[in-house]
Copies of this chain bind each other. A is one copy, B any other.
Amino acid sequence: MTKAPPRRAKIQDVAEAAGVAIKTVSRVLNNEPNVREETRQRVLAIVKKLNYHPSLSARSLAGRRSFLIGLIYENPSANYIVDVQHGAMARCREDRFQLLMHQVTGKGEEMERDVLGLVDQTHLDGLIVTAPLSESVDLMRALDRRALPFVRVAPNDAPHPTPYVDMDDAGAAREMTEYLIGLGHRRIGFIVGHPDHFASGQRLVGYQAALAAHGIEFQERYVRQGYFIFESGMEAARELLTQADPPTAIFASNDDMAAGVLMAAHELGFSVPERLSVAGFDDTYIAKTVWPRLTTVHQPTYDLAYTATNLLLQMLQTGAAPQSMRLGYRLVCRASTAVVHK
């Protein structure tokens, strides 16, 4: 019954079985040139037969790289970060890299220590930095000092030679605002995202640009500061809706806050979308599960992460920094917005 667990095959076993030197096996496994096709096939057959898998540790030690990539994030909504994780994971699998997720604790120096601790302990080959961590100049400098390749899934606020992947936040926000204007709305509330995020400012810029383009006066009283979380959206909406001449539409800088707006609207008796239109941003899972379903900007979260990981792997292989990329968005019109009420 109890069979001793079979010893793991090592490169030597494969080499002996194939009648070649271990170095040749190594060459085959790493797709190095200068191996005769016949030899390559013979080795591959044995590898399969023995179910041989090279030891990550040995490879790392000898090859001076860990095949480990880090993904650091601060405190995003679960739906968002899971998409990011899966995008990065998918790309890593293609090249047999492993992904180490790391939720960063603290701010400022404490945050830096946390990240550098991870980097030092695990000897990562590269790092994927999500917003708003990507906005810390100090962190980027520290990573440079360690000569650690990294890419950012975030808009490039502070110019840095490192590549990044982003989307046109300002353009998307402008388009959404224009959509609301097109529905006849003139008093449009806006809830700003977390001040630590560069994207927050960009989305505000887009909102303002749309108003200006349509000759609508920008009014401070229709703008509130939020923090990308549900409660902050609810709170902001309460303030916006309880003033005289309340907005007929509210555009929140992400879906979580937009869901908060819905909650406040329900509490205050504003029916959506009859008396109040609500728009979100991101198109995360929550947008489809609240009632009414949210009109929002679809952000290609999965693809952003996949692409960022792709750039990072390119960097590791070529040693050179590839071009940054900007991915597209698209408006998703659902049930939370409608033509303005009389």
**Chain A positions 82-113 with a Cβ under 8 Å from a chain B Cβ:** 82-83, 85-86, 89, 96, 98-103
Is A244 positioned at the interface, with any CB of B under 8 Å from its CB? no
Instruction: Assess whether A82 is in contact with B89, with CB atoms less than 8 Å apart.
Output: no
- Would you list which residues of chain A between 259 and 314 have a CB under 8 Å from chain B? 259-260, 262-263, 266, 285-286, 288-292
Q: Which residues of B contact A292 (CB under 8 A)?
A: 266
Interface of A is mostly: helix
Inter-chain CA distance A5–B100, complex, in Å, is 24
- Asked if B61 and A58 make an inter-chain contact with CB atoms under 8 angstroms apart, the answer reads yes
Say yes or no: B291 contacts A262, CB within 8 Å. Answer: yes
A100–B103 CB distance below 8 A: no
Interface residues on A, range: 35 or more
Choose from B79, B102, B230, B289 the contact partner of A230 (Cβ within 8 Å).
B289
- Evaluate contact between A56 and B66: CB separation under 8 angstroms: yes
Q: Which residues on the B side are within 8 Å of A263 (C-beta)?
A: 289, 291
Query: Which residues of A (115-160) have their CB < 8 Å from a CB of B?
Result: 120-123, 145-147
A286 to chain B, nearest CB (A): 6
CA of A316 to CA of B66, assembled, Å = 23
- A291: chain B residues within 8 A (beta carbon): 262-263, 266, 290-291
Q: Is A256 located at the chain interface by the 8 A CB criterion?
A: yes
Contact with B along A64-94 (1 / 0, CB 8 A): 0010000000000111011101100100000
Partner of A60, one of B3, B57, B101, B121: B57
A219: B residues at CB distance < 8 A: none
Cα distance A89–B140 in the bound complex, in angstroms = 24
Kindly provide the distance from the CB of A101 to the nearest chain B CB, expressed in whole angstroms. 6
Q: Give which listed residue, B57, B101, B103, B262, contacts A57 with CB less than 8 A.
A: B57
In the assembled complex, the CB of A330 is this many whole angstroms from the nearest CB of chain B, namely 21
On whether the beta carbons of B96 and A121 are closer than 8 Å, the reply is yes
Please report the C-alpha to C-alpha distance between residue A89 and residue B290 in the assembled complex, in whole angstroms: 30
Contact status A103-B78, CB under 8 Å: no
Which of B5, B82, B259 is the one whose CB lies under 8 Å from A82?
B82
Q: Give every chain B residue within 8 A of A288 (Cβ-Cβ).
A: 230
- Are A121 and B57 neighbours in the complex by a CB distance under 8 Å? no
Q: Does A55 lie at the interface of the complex (its beta carbon under 8 Å from any beta carbon of B)?
A: yes
Cβ proximity bits A1-19 to B, threshold 8 Å, 1 near / 0 not: 0010100100000000000
With contacts A289-B290, A290-B291 known, is A89 near B103, CB below 8 A? Answer: yes
Contact B285 A78 (CB under 8 A): yes
Tell whether, in the assembled complex, residue A101 and residue B99 are in contact, meaning their CB atoms are under 8 Å apart: yes
A259–B123 CB distance below 8 A: no
Q: Cβ of A23 < 8 Å from any Cβ of B?
A: no
A53 adjacent to chain B (CB < 8 Å): yes
Q: Within the complex, what minimum Cβ distance (angstroms) separates A202 from chain B?
A: 25
Which chain B residue shows the least CB distance to A263? Answer: B291
In the complex, whether A323 has a CB less than 8 A from a CB of chain B is no
Instruction: State the CA gap A285–B230 with chains docked (Å).
Output: 10
For A79, list chain B residues within 8 Å (CB).
78-79
List B contacts of A59 (CB < 8 A).
57
Q: Please tell me if A41 contacts chain B, counting CB pairs below 8 Å.
A: no
In the complex the two chains form, what is the Cα distance from A5 to B120 in whole Å?
A: 13
Q: Which residues of B contact A58 (CB under 8 A)?
A: 57, 61
A53 and B286 in contact (CB under 8 A), knowing A5-B146, A86-B103, A291-B262?
A: no
